[in-house]
Amino acid sequence: MQVSGSWDAELLVVGAGPAGVAAAVMASSLRMKALVVEADQVGSKLRAIGSLENVPGGWSAGPALAEAMASDLARHQELGRVTVLRGCAARVVGRDDRAEVVLDDGRVLAAGAVVVATGVTTLSPADVPWISAPAAAWLPPLWRAAAGELEGRRVVVLGADRPLGTWLRAHPTARVQFDVLFPAGDRYKTDEVGEERRLRLDEVTSVGVAPAPNGFRITAAHAGGGTHSFVVDAVLTNMGSKPAALDGLVVGGDGYCPPDDQHPRVLVAGDLKGSRMQRIAVAMGDGSRAALEPYYQARTVAG
Ligand SMILES: Cc1cc2nc3c(=O)[nH]c(=O)nc-3n(C[C@H](O)[C@H](O)[C@H](O)COP(=O)(O)OP(=O)(O)OC[C@H]3O[C@@H](n4cnc5c(N)ncnc54)[C@H](O)[C@@H]3O)c2cc1C
C-alpha cells in the first residue's frame, strides 16, 4: 500500500547502512517487497572506514563491504522485490493498519511496517559544551578525512573518540602530525593510541576556535592549568556521535530509540537503538531480525 508515489511495498526501510540493507535483503528473501529510502548512498558510512577487523567474512575495509552490500541490493532490485529510493525521511508514523514515512519533500510512503535504521550522525562543536566555535565554521570530521589533504599541515583534532585509532591504522604511512585536544571524558579512549608517534595528546577543559588567515586560531585551556593560543592549518572534529532519530519515534533520555517502546509497526535497528553495541555485525543481525518480525506477525494464525 502507498499513500503517494507508485510503490507497492510490504516493508519500508529507512537507511541503507548494514542494518537497513540486511532488513531489505531478509525481507526480499522471504518474498516481501521492500522499499528502501536512503538519503546518501548504500553503505555511506562504511565507505569512509579504511580498516575493519571484526566483521565475519574476511572484510578488512569498509568500502569493499559497502560495494558488496550495494550489489546485494541491486540483485534483489533486479528480482523486483526491492526498490531503493533516494530521499530523506523526516517523520515516521505508526497507525492501526499501516506504518508511514514522510519524506522531507512532503511525499508519504506507507506499508505494513517500517524498519528505521538511520544510525548516528557526527557531533558538531555546537553539540558539546567544551568547544566554542562560530556557527558558520565548517569543521569536517576526522573519520571522513583523506590522508593526502592533511600531510605536511598542522592539524588539530577536537576529541579523542575511537575513529582516531581507526584512521591511524587505516593510514599507517601517512605523514601527519595531529594535536589532539580532548576533554576528561575521553581520557580512557586514549589508551589505544597512546603509543602512536603521530599524535600529541592534550587534555583540556575548553577550546575556542576562531577563523584566522589560512587557518584557525585555537585557544586551549589545559586541564593541568594554563591557556595556550596558536594557529593551525586545519581543524577536524572527533567528538563522537548522536542518534539520527526521526520525528515520530519514541526517544529515550539519551536521544536513542529503544525498540520495545515504539509502535508495533515501527521497528528500530542498528546504531539508532542505543549507544552501546554499535558494530557492523550487530547492525546486520538487528536489521535481519527487524524484517522477520512483521513477516511472522502477518503469517501467524491466531489461536
Ligand atoms: C570511523 C568509524 C569507524 C568504525 N569502525 C568500525 C569497525 O571497525 N567495526 C565495526 O563493527 N563497526 C565500526 N563502526 C561502526 C559502524 O559503522 C556502525 O555500527 C554501523 O555502520 C551501523 O550501521 P547502521 O545501519 O545502524 O547505521 P549506518 O551505517 O550509520 O547507516 C545509516 C544510513 O541511514 C541513512 N540515513 C540517515 N538518516 C536518514 C534519513 N533521515 N533518511 C534517509 N536515510 C537516512 C544514512 O545516510 C546511512 O546510509 C565505525 C564507525 C565509524 C564512524
Q: To test ligand 1's pocket by mutation, which of 118, 166, 282 has the most ligand atoms within 8 angstroms of CB? A: 118
The residue with cell 517500517 is: 114
Which phi-psi region, left, alpha or beta, contains residue 86 (left: φ > 0; alpha: ψ -120 to 50)?
A: beta
Check whether 300 has a pLDDT greater than 90.
Answer: no
Cα–Cα distances (Å) from 113 to 43, 109, 116, 246, 284, in that order, read 22, 11, 10, 15, 18
β-strands 215-222, 199-212: how paired?
antiparallel
pLDDT score, position 280: 98
Q: Which residue has the higher pLDDT, 214 or 237?
A: 237
Write down all domains in the chain, each with its CATH number in brackets.
Answer: 11-122+241-299 (3.50.50.60), 125-237 (3.50.50.60)
**What would the pLDDT profile of 105-161 be if each residue is shown by its tens digit?**
999 999 999 999 999 999 999 999 999 998 877 899 999 899 999 999 999 999 999
Select from 114, 95, 108 the least CA-distant residue to 5. Answer: 108
Q: Whole-model pTM above 0.75? A: yes
Nearest CA to ligand 1 atom 19: 279
Average pLDDT, the chain: 93
**Cα-to-centroid distance, 225 and ligand 1 (Å):** 38
**What would the pLDDT profile of 155-199 be if each residue is shown by its tens digit?**
999 999 989 998 998 899 999 999 999 999 999 999 988 889 999
**Mean pLDDT of the region 231-243:** 95
The three grid cell numbers given for residue 122, joined into one nine-digit string: 557526527
Neighbour tally for 140: CB within 10 Å: 13
**Cα-to-centroid distance, 91 and ligand 1 (Å):** 19
pLDDT score, position 303: 46
Confidence of residue 302 (pLDDT cuts 50, 70, 90): low
Nearest CA to ligand 1 atom 7: 52
DSSP letter for each residue of 144-172: G--HHHHTTSEEEEE---THHHHHHHH-T
Which phi-psi region, left, alpha or beta, contains residue 159 (left: φ > 0; alpha: ψ -120 to 50)?
A: left
pLDDT score, position 288: 98
**What would the pLDDT profile of 265-278 be if each residue is shown by its tens digit?**
999 999 999 988 99
**Cα-to-centroid distance, 49 and ligand 1 (Å):** 10
The single-letter DSSP state of residue 247 is B
Nearest CA to ligand 1 atom 20: 280
pLDDT score, position 7: 61
**Ligand 1: lining residues by beta carbon, under 6 Å:** 14-20, 37-40, 44-45, 49, 52, 54-55, 88-89, 117-119, 143, 163, 166, 244, 246, 270-271, 278-281, 283
The three grid cell numbers given for residue 271, joined into one nine-digit string: 546504531
pLDDT score, position 166: 86
pLDDT score, position 4: 55
